[in-house]
Structure 1
Amino acid sequence: MSGAKRRALGYGRAAAVGCVALVLLVAGVLASWDAAHHIVLAKGREHGTMTVTGCGSEVCTGPYAPSDGAGARSRVSVEKSVAARKGDRFDVVVKPGTDEVVRTGAAGFFHAWVPLGGALVLAALVIGGGLRLTRTAWGAGIAGGALLMAAFIAL
């Protein structure tokens, strides 16, 4: 194979692997942003406290007490996590137009970004193995691992 063909093949491989890493990272951001934007852009939203009264396989439910004088709700639901047990109380923000809430504070913030942490760890493997950018791969892997560890500790 000639040198020009070999270089073109190398550039094509790098572009394909770069696209895979980019797709992983974009998917992680989009999966995280669904819950995270309610926490990051919480100004003007309904804030309060939720008390967990029961948990199903995917969600936990309970009454909601607003902190800003809005109407209380007898039942709201939050995505189930390992840290939500019956009787627990935590600060939440209500998703507009629904009875779904998202946990706020450090625990809620890090929990919302867990998909991005996983995507960073996976992208690190692709970056290191496919693109052979070891320092960048280590940086992405450490950032993803730190985000996952912070979520574990905060919850």
Structure 2
Amino acid sequence: MGLIVVTGPPAAGKSSWIKAHARPSDVVIDLDLMALAMAGPGADHHRHDPTLLRIVHRARQAAIHEAERHLTTTDVYLIHTMPQAKARARYRRLGARIVVVDPGEAIVRARVRDMRDPQMDAVVTRWYRDHRRGGSRAVTPQASRAW
């Protein structure tokens, strides 16, 4: 049992990786799924209203805090696209396993171009820049899939 932090650029397949590995009894903390659950009917899966995002970010922090109390009895999967040094240190203290999902920059950029808000391209650029500087660790290849 423990914490599994799944990181990687936008549209890398982090949620898909979790779907392939988590069990029904595990806890999954995924900002996009939380936003979708809190949004009105027909809301976009990846484009969220700023007010909704503020609410979801607070709910996510509360979920993480509570989940930390159960790491000895439950696997907790947490998506964190770009954890900063403070978060990475916290995850290390908790004994987290870090999984980096990255199918490659060309695939990620094509997915973002086809399915995400154009502003996400800047997040992709930042993720790869930070990754190349050592901001992330070992890469878990994620095969491309039909979207």
Relative to the length of structure 2, the TM-score reads 0.27
> Which of the pair is proportionally richer in strand?
1
Higher RCO (C-alpha under 8 Å, 6+ residues apart)? 2
> Which of the pair is proportionally richer in helix?
1
Relative to the length of structure 1, the TM-score reads 0.26
